[in-house]
């Protein structure tokens, strides 16, 4: 099993939106970074653990626990000219962008980015590295265990 941190802007999809969705499952659309896409396409497996993270908001941080609920499949927003995520180079025959479904397991207290930065045991976490801006990052099993056991 692998672990991930997946960022979502609350205005796009919040933890509460995901909890209100059928089966508490949402498609993770709109990823337009090749490395993040490759994580979904090549490395994510159904059942992998996910930290649901709110970004681009007043207080960014981890807000819930989730799991990968599907294998990767083409993100339909890339084909829709009315979508903010439209990609004119993508076609149904040769999609460029993928997505997975994510199922919420539990809403947690907000663990702010500012708090995560103060914990020496998490200093190597990809999220906390200078210049790290990816919307999907891997989380080590030690980081997952530490956060789940000591911060939640």
Quote the number of domains for the chain.
Answer: 1
Which of 109, 28, 123 minimizes the C-alpha distance to 62? 109
Is residue 150 in a domain?
no
Is residue 84 in a domain?
yes
Is residue 11 in a domain?
yes
Is residue 94 in a domain?
yes
The 8-class DSSP code of residue 4 comes to E
Is residue 115 in a domain?
yes
How confident is the model at residue 132, as a pLDDT?
87
CATH (domain of 20) = 3.10.590.10
Is residue 149 in a domain?
no
- Provide the domain limits for residue 119: 3-144
How confident is the model at residue 108, as a pLDDT?
98
How confident is the model at residue 75, as a pLDDT?
98
Per-residue pLDDT for the chain (152 aa), expressed as one digit of tens each? Answer: 999 999 999 999 999 999 999 999 999 999 999 999 999 999 999 999 999 999 999 999 999 999 999 999 999 999 999 999 999 999 999 999 999 999 999 999 999 999 999 999 999 999 999 988 899 999 999 999 999 999 98
Is residue 88 in a domain?
yes
How far is Cα 28 from Cα 11, in angstroms, rounded to an integer? Answer: 14
Is residue 136 in a domain?
yes
In degrees, rounded to 5, the angle at the alpha carbon of residue 118 between the alpha carbons of residues 112 and 122 is 90
């Amino acid at each position: 099993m692998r672990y991930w941190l997946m960022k979502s802007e609350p205005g796009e999809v919040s933890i509460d939106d995901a909890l209100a969705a059928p089966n508490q499952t949402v498609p993770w659309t709109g990823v337009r970074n090749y490395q993040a896409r490759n994580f979904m396409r090549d490395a994510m497996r159904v059942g992998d653990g996910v930290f649901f993270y709110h970004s681009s908001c007043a207080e960014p941080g981890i807000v819930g626990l989730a799991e990968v609920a599907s294998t990767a499949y083409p993100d339909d927003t890339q084909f829709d000219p009315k979508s903010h995520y439209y990609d004119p180079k993508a076609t149904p025959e040769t999609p460029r962008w993928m997505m997975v479904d994510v199922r919420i397991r539990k809403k947690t207290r907000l663990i702010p980015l500012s708090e995560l930065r103060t914990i020496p045991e998490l200093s190597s976490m990809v999220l906390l590295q200078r210049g790290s801006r990816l919307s999907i990052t891997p989380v080590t099993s030690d980081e997952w265990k530490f956060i789940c056991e000591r911060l939640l």
